[in-house]
Amino acid sequence: MRILSIETSCDDTGIAILEVKGGEKNPTFKVLAEGISSQIKIHAPYGGVFPALAKREHIKNLPILLEKVLKKAKIRPLRPTGTSPSKGQEKIDIDIIAVTYGPGLEPALWTGIVFAKELSKKWDVPLLPVNHMEGHILSVFGKNSGSFKMPKIEFPILSLLVSGGHTELVLAKDWMKYKTIGETVDDAVGEAFDKVARMMGLPYPGGPEISRLAEKSRKHPLPTSPLANGEELKLPRPMMYTKNYDFSFSGLKTAVLYLIRDLQKEHPDKLQFVGMKEAIACEFEDAVVDVLTHKTLKAIKEHKVKTIVVGGGVSANKRLKKILTQKIKAENPKIKVLFPGKKLSMDNAVMIALVGYFRRNKAKKTGFDKIKAVGGLSL
């Protein structure tokens, strides 16, 4: 079967076509085509994603990307004999259209949904609304090109989902049976990376920038404390030891703001001193990684987790990958730790097509009016 998937939840327009062969027990997935159109450059001057602009760009990108992807996959819609061009009917070798309907920015989500509905009607192909976060979970099993199979997975799976809009721990005792056991009470972790980067005058998206500076600082740390009182530069680890699995990153972000303000009181240009931004970035990244790792390890123990999945944009963070994997393996080497490949850690349509396959029985040619963008959709 062939699945065409559409992703427009934030600032990336994505379309993919996956072919799935073999039986239900051991399917082989082949990426026939995958296209992504990033809007980073357009949103960068605003320091974050600007919803109205994202909507405009998705509307512009979707038809262009569709054409490219169909061409790459060598799929051509044909008009059945005897039908009228005015009715716009076409036949196509696609079995399901999967589209993200939430969570995300509603104006952005709607563009993908409207586009998918139109295609579905025109081609007479069933449509399936997909949860973006389920996509991030399944992203660890995919590739953005070539063929792949599902690895053997043992349950329970614990997913640490970390992106610009989400920070949550989701437990799954079986495929598609999710329970969110903890989430952020304020800012998402990616959002904190972006805001801290902005405070330091670094470009959007902030995660990769902070990470790059932090790495520099680990290689060449400041020889002495950057603080006037000589104390160690230390940021808080909010909610690290609370009993639940919730997170908070707003206080950490504010602590960085106060730190920068205090440094600038000592000297207006102190943030520009050699190694200063690097030292702050490093301590910030360590604080984030400490909290995420601590809570994940706690949940692994309590729920006797066998597989860990880390998904979402922040899963591209090398420090998180290194420390989390090391600590999990030190406690229990049998636990499988899965991160997506770099391209699938970002928003993409391959992960939406994977969800499409698992939920293929729910795809329908009717009831389109019920498919609406749900910005705050949960798992």
What DSSP letter does each residue of 2-44 carry, written as one string? Answer: EEEEEE-SSSEEEEEEEEEES-SSS-EEEEEEEEEEE-HHHHG
211 touches ligand KG4 (CB under 6 A): yes
50 or 368: whose CB is closer to ligand KG4? Answer: 50
By rule CB under 5 A, what count of residues binds Zn ion?
A: 2
Q: Which does 106 bind (CB under 5 to 8 A by kind): ligand KG4, Zn ion, none?
A: none
In the chain, the largest separation of any two C-alpha atoms, in whole Å, equals 84
Which of 163, 167, 184, 293 binds ligand KG4 (CB under 6 A)? It is 163
**How long, in residues, is the chain?**
379
What CA–CA distance (Å, rounded) separates 20 from 18? Answer: 6
Which of 33, 105, 347, 371 binds Zn ion (CB under 5 A)? It is 347
Which of 35, 126, 129, 190 binds ligand KG4 (CB under 6 A)? It is 190
Q: Which does 193 bind (CB under 5 to 8 A by kind): ligand KG4, Zn ion, none?
A: ligand KG4
> Angle 254-251-219 (CA atoms, 0-180°, nearest 5)?
75
Which of 4, 10, 157, 300 binds ligand KG4 (CB under 6 A)? It is 10
249 touches ligand KG4 (CB under 6 A): no
CB 6 within 8 A of CB 116: yes
Write the DSSP symbol of residue 272.
G
Site string for ligand KG4, 332-361 (x = CB under 6 A): --------------xx--------------
Containing 356, the helix (H) or strand (E) segment is: helix 350-358
163 touches Zn ion (CB under 5 A): yes
Q: Which stretch binds Zn ion (CB under 5 A): 65-73, 173-181, 301-309, 342-350?
A: 342-350
Cis (ω within 30 of 0) for the bond into 77?
A: no
For the record, the structure tokens of 133 come out as: 């976060």
247 touches ligand KG4 (CB under 6 A): no
What CA–CA distance (Å, rounded) separates 28 from 19? Answer: 8
Could you tell me which residues come within 8 angstroms of residue 235 by beta carbon, excluding any fewer than 6 positions away? 252, 255, 256, 259, 283, 284, 287
Please report how close the Cβ of residue 9 comes to Zn ion at its closest, in angstroms. Answer: 6
Kindly list the residues in this chain that would bind Zn ion in the complex (CB under 5 A).
163, 347
Kindly list the residues in this chain that would bind ligand KG4 in the complex (CB under 6 A).
10, 163-165, 190, 193-194, 205-208, 211, 312-314, 316-317, 346-347
